[in-house]
A and B are shown apart, each in its own frame.
Chain A
């Protein structure tokens, strides 16, 4: 039991720090570059992202192991997972709109964007490929969302301060964002010694 908990903590640390999904695995870069301008927006996106990834792993794991595997339809995993994610995001948007207007106003714009974020699909497929058990899958999902949120919030804070700095014209916008991401990623390389066997 203790060994199992240690394994879960290991998965969490690996996904958030060592193999951060944005800075080490290059996932979700489109929104990472596009959204990292305002801190409150970044926080909203990070929270909705974490929620959607966790829920998607909770739904896709049983679908794969109890429907696709018994029917020998494993090769349909990409198609079925993207459908599940798209439907889930749509459903979530409708439910939130109906029951919590304040939350909908805060998250409304970001929810549809998440369908096309590669982190979600990647994590669900990774769970299946590595043959993780249910609890490990959910922990991996939640921590990958947390890793995305961490990277996005760090990046936004740096960019907000750079607003006032003088930047050479050709570096403005995307090029500088990538160079900052490179430096952040270099810093995160320092965590690679943390991997727990």
Chain B
């Protein structure tokens, strides 16, 4: 029992820090950049990703001994597409405003490399229990990254956080919520993370 518990924790934390899908593995960048004009959108696409990732990881891990190796990728894609369709129908039915804002980027999750990547690298050789931990960790890592980028862009580009104005009379830089801002934000965030990591590594060796 203790062993499974530690496994759950390491698998879970792995996705948030050491192998953060957005900043470390650089997977699933398209939705992360496209919809993150605000923190709310960022968290919304993140939660949709967690839902699909959880569903597909559990399903693939359950079926891993039955899916023939030669046709595994088409099988995975079909399972993922089914869960994306479910997520899309739920969003359309209960959160129409949010769906209108996220639009086709929900549909595009089918080809999101995070989901297929986890199916191929983790779910097809691990137990259901570990796959749930992995899905939650990876999904949360992607959510935090998308939400964080969304918050930075919303603050600098619109002067708001979660729709509440915080900048007072300072004029926000609109370019940050336009497409170029997304590229610049993620570029500088990644550079800052590299800087922190190399400083940490230096501190360790000296």
Contacts and interface: CB of A to CB of B under 8 A. Distances in A.
A51 interface: no
A142 B199 CA distance: 47
Given A82-B111, A185-B179, A170 B194 contact: yes
A174 B25 CA distance: 11
Interface stretch (B1-9, B56-64, B74-82, B160-168): B74-82
A26 B26 contact: no
Residue among B29, B175, B182 with the highest chain A CB neighbour number at 10 A? B29
B117 to A, nearest CB: 10
Interface stretch (B12-20, B84-92, B131-139): B84-92
A29 B198 CA distance: 26
Interface residues of A, number: 40
B116 A116 contact: yes
B43 to A, nearest CB: 18
Contact of B30 (A30, A126, A179): A30
Contact of A178 (B31, B74, B184, B194): B184
B47 interface: no
Interface of A: 23-30, 33, 75-76, 78-79, 82-83, 86, 115-118, 121-122, 125-126, 129, 169-171, 174-179, 181-183, 185-186, 189
5 contacts: A26-B179, A78-B81, A174-B187, A175-B190, A176-B187
Closest 9 CB pairs of A and B: A178-B187, A182-B183, A182-B184, A179-B187, A170-B194, A175-B191, A26-B34, A186-B180, A185-B180
